[in-house]
Amino acid sequence: MHPASSLIKIYMEESNLTHGSLFSGIEGFGLGAAFAGIKTLWSCEYEDYQTSIIKKNFGEEHEINRDIRTYSKPPFVDIISGGFPCQDISVAGKGVGIIGERSGLWSEMYRIVREVRPKYVIIENSPALVISGFEQVLCDLSKIGYDAEWQCISNYAFGYPHKRERLYLLPTPTKSDYKATYANVEALTRYLNSGHQIRVSDILVQKGFLKSQRIALLEMMMGFPIAHTELEVSAMR
């Protein structure tokens, strides 16, 4: 069994909360959920390679929808996470904002949140969203009875050796009967703060750390376990 998938199965049985992710990538939010004992029921990812990584770590039977534009009424989950495309928002992009072709996919994420009505939503994007469509996101959420808190967080704050700031929003329903128990709040806090803490010095002293050096270092810097992005275990040897 692959080491990353083993970790996911070990941690998945600790909470009653469930999670679904949009714009899943290699399922970083799903990995954080697993570390917090939260089971990811479904993912949505367009790219082939990223989908292969999800299947490797979560199993071939894991539900993956390939196009958010055609994904409709997914099963209920307590938490929906997603980092909709930031290319039109980021300072490194075209700067057209949330109305752009790619960042405009926020409207699809909003639609799914409206359909599912989760207890919690976690949204990740470029800090530039604050001046490039933030009011649209907040207004859309308000229309369906969600309030939101947000904060700009740097990877450096979690001990990783680089500074990459991202904006995180945590919308929750304001017009519902949801009552978060202490256990649920604690689990969600662990989910948001989870990360596989590995120091650079720990990586460099590993035996056989040659071919996989660049991949492993990048995984470590982004907070993923070593070999999370490898499709074959042998590739790390």
Instruction: Report the catalytic residues.
Output: 86
Nearest in space to 64 (alpha carbons), one of 30, 85, 41: 41
CA distances from 155 to 34, 151, 158, 159, 160 (A): 20, 13, 6, 7, 6
Residue type, 155: N
Q: Please give the Cα distance from 185 to 204 (Å, whole number).
A: 37
Alpha-helix runs per DSSP H in 75-165: 106-116, 134-143
Task: Give the pair of three-digit tokens for residue 123.
Answer: 């949204």
